[in-house]
Amino acid sequence: MIVTQVSDEYLLPVFTQVKPLLQKALDRGFGELSMDDILARLIRGQQQLWVGVDEKTGKMPLAFTTEISHYATMKHLCLLLTGAEPHTIDTWMDSWSEPVEQFCRINGISHILTFGRDGWEKFLGGKGYHKYYTVMAKEIKDEEPASD
């Protein structure tokens, strides 16, 4: 598997192909972003699109987006959306980190952060990633019924 950042000239046709993979990741969120929001951020250069390409078939079973967060003393690269064909993680898990880490070195980025389900800990734990905290969320509605 070859994992690469999609250049601007190929952004729209590749995005069209991997949109269903990214939609799976969006569907797990709270609706903070739409697919149109993601595309607009990619076009403006606020996010980056990455794909995994199967060298034998030319298919793209993996797509993910990243975004650089700028802080006063450092920059982080946030992995935002990761979508893949079912049961393919073993084909790309060892391929994605080197190109992403090289991108970080070139761009002066000190940390890679990712947000996701606890299942990611199983795959990333042995690759230098550590679980620092868990995020829990509750939706606040306009009116909550009083509990007695």
Task: Tell me if the domain spanning 2-127 has CATH number 2.40.50.140.
Answer: no
Model confidence over 72-118: pLDDT tens digits?
Answer: 999 998 888 988 898 877 777 678 888 998 999 999 999 888 766 66
Q: What is the pLDDT of residue 135?
A: 62
* pTM (2 d.p.): 0.80
Q: For the chain, which residues make up each domain, given as ranges?
A: 2-127
- Residues 10 and 5: their CA atoms lie apart, in Å, by 10
Buried b (16+ CB within 10 A) or exposed e, 47-84: bbbbbbbbeeeeebbbbbbbbbeeeeeeeebbbbbbbb
- Residues 102 and 76: their CA atoms lie apart, in Å, by 13
Percentage of the chain modeled with pLDDT above 70: 77
- Is 118 within 8 Å of 124 (Cβ atoms)? no
